Structure 1
């Protein structure tokens, strides 16, 4: 089977960075040309609308310069001083661009009102303003589409604002063109009120741009203040809660820096989960968050919590895990309505009895606090092996022990055979391990009974064997 190699994430980022810089530079050059042409056309015609449009384009030029600078800086990787990267410079750029647009609109409105009040303006007829405005509309349409396409592809707020700049220029140029033509028509047809079409068009365009600029400013400030739509955060929480094993999302924080999102989550998981299982679940939760926020930087913190359906056995094992000890042969009995717990605890074989007893007493007290319904706890202390054994082999004696094991196994009808018998010796003990084949459909309770009975029977025949380890396996998985 052939696996398709995936494109490295760094490659996509480099391509996006190059694309952003390219369109930002093109926008800056286009804004430079159109500003110069509109300024010349406005001076030739004396049209406030054309001059206001030139001022608007001039501020667009400044905004495009800021955008070009910001996309270069925002793509720098995180460093010691900017652990979240430099993405917010794009949001800062969008804020400044919106501010420049607001200033230009305010100046245009003020100048238009002054012209209407003074009634002293006069337009000079020329074809150049019309040609310049038509050219501007075509260029702005081309640039706005290209900028919007790249902004959507890369998630760049600076390019999105720049795209709006050029789109607003289209409407501004159309309004100015209509106002200019209406004013000329008013003079030619002696319709006095049409003389005000040019400044009125300038006011109309400015108010329209101010309205959208306010929205852009609010969005830029919101991102700079780490504001995020509530639905975005809830979408992240819902995706994380769908991961099997997650009890709850106790905390979720989402922030945006430029085109990139950062998500920090605290997940409550069953305390019975192992580290390895928790690691797998964290990976699954990260993938779930990426379904809501693709390419997001995700950090997940996990906290152990009591499961929804924990048994008394689960709670006892949770106490043992919290104290970093292994327990086995755990049993809970009810005597006269009171619960009595017995368990085996493995402790370091080098630990002294006084220290071991003190530890176990604390463990028992913690179990009683964790499960108040328990009346008493009895703990059998075992040593946890910490050294590698080096067994010796004595062939004749090993054969005798193996023969005794097979004889013991023959006493039980459910035992099909025993194999892979290994007898080992250390300086102090003799040990034996083997595999035992049993019918597939036996319950684990019955399997345990048979294995225990075999161990007891064998030790009666060979009391010198200190430890017996028997691995049960079904007939269908017998790998002899």
Structure 2
């Protein structure tokens, strides 16, 4: 089974589970008329909508590149995450509004025993499915699956808090525990929705993924060869699970085109081997200048004008800059 098929099947599982659990939660609300249970049920409606959109985005992300999408369709996963976060944010705002009214004008809660039983069962299912989605999403570098799984975590947490509120109401008779829990959950949902939107915008705007860039630079440094005099202007873009990497590599100016091509091919292959996803890499070869002699490792260079002094170690601070390195 391909990674695209795996992601699509897990997305379908998330959708089916979300539909089943939202029905259970609204039945629990019918029995209890609890504000906390209603909060949980409303948040689960968002699960259904977002799981459906995530499923569609996983289908699109798995499509091959075409003339209209030369870098593939992976960016739609970031759009899915933003859509999910936006709906969660709006749900959190509505829940806060509704819970505030209920806190000011509390109403009795009925059948808390059945409410606790039903919500606890949904929490167990959500935790299990959410854990599966997050683990697989991280392994396959799918932001849509990870986002969907984290949303199920949130849903499980709301169910646990709602159950605890029902237990407190039953034990103490204080009805405001119910609306107080709903207020707490509304604020929590609001914050998490905003965080998901923020991550979505970061991906769509190609914000630097520091961890991936650092990993690429570290691999180049670890596998460094003498003809690779200097690397700069290194950039990494993520398209769904796949990576697009480009950089400038300074090489001896007297190398033939065939020699340069061989070195560039080796660079691309070692980076592709480092990551478990599809990597598209473009390396622009720059001819060296005599200013690079002092940091060049070519021991048998026939045109060296200056003695080698020391190697410039590539790191996150210097490899991403659009300028050649030189010693002071």
Partner of 1:227: 207
Shift of 1:291: 5.9
Correspondence for 1:169 among 141, 144, 155:
155
Q: Which moved more, 1:66-75 or 1:235-244?
A: 235-244
Shift of 1:281: 1.1
> Distance in 2 between the 1:17 and 1:294 partners?
14
Residues 1:285 and 2:271 aligned together: no
> Distance in 2 between the 1:235 and 1:32 partners?
40
Partner of 1:258: 240
Q: Deviations over 1:109-135 (max 9, x none)?
A: 11111111123x121225432221021
Residues 1:214 and 2:200 aligned together: no
SS in structure 1 of the partner of residue 235 of structure 2: strand
> Distance in 2 between the 1:144 and 1:313 partners?
61
Q: Which moved more, 1:126-135 or 1:41-50?
A: 126-135
Matched-pair contact (CA < 8 Å) for 2:91–2:190: no
Shift of 1:210: 2.7
Where is the strand percentage greater, Structure 1 or Structure 2? Answer: 1
Partner of 1:27: 14
Matches within 5 A, 1:43-54: 43-54=30-41
Matched-pair contact (CA < 8 Å) for 1:88–1:258: yes
> Distance in 1 between the 2:111 and 2:102 partners?
18
Tell me the TM-score normalized by structure 1.
Answer: 0.58
> Distance in 2 between the 1:231 and 1:130 partners?
42
Q: Which moved more, 1:121-130 or 1:27-36?
A: 121-130
> Distance in 1 between the 2:225 and 2:134 partners?
35
> Distance in 2 between the 1:252 and 1:176 partners?
49
Matches within 5 A, 1:67-146: 67-119=54-106, 121-146=107-132
Which structure is higher in RCO with an 8 Å CA cutoff and minimum separation 6? 2
**Structure 1: runs of 5 or more not aligned:** 1-13, 188-193, 317-480
Tell me the TM-score normalized by structure 2.
Answer: 0.84
Shift of 1:238: 4.2
Q: 1:43 to 1:83 in 2, by over 3 A?
A: same
> Distance in 1 between the 2:280 and 2:180 partners?
49
Residues 1:314 and 2:296 aligned together: no
Residues 1:299 and 2:285 aligned together: no
Matched-pair contact (CA < 8 Å) for 2:89–2:191: no
Partner of 1:237: 217
SS in structure 2 of the partner of residue 262 of structure 1: strand
Shift of 1:208: 2.3
> Distance in 2 between the 1:68 and 1:93 partners?
9
> Distance in 1 between the 2:214 and 2:37 partners?
47
> Distance in 2 between the 1:294 and 1:302 partners?
26
Partner of 1:443: none
Shift of 1:80: 0.6
Shift of 1:108: 1.0
> Distance in 2 between the 1:243 and 1:81 partners?
38
Q: Deviations over 1:342-373 (max 9, x none)?
A: xxxxxxxxxxxxxxxxxxxxxxxxxxxxxxxx
> Distance in 2 between the 1:313 and 1:87 partners?
47
**Structure 2: runs of 5 or more not aligned:** 306-328
SS in structure 2 of the partner of residue 314 of structure 1: coil
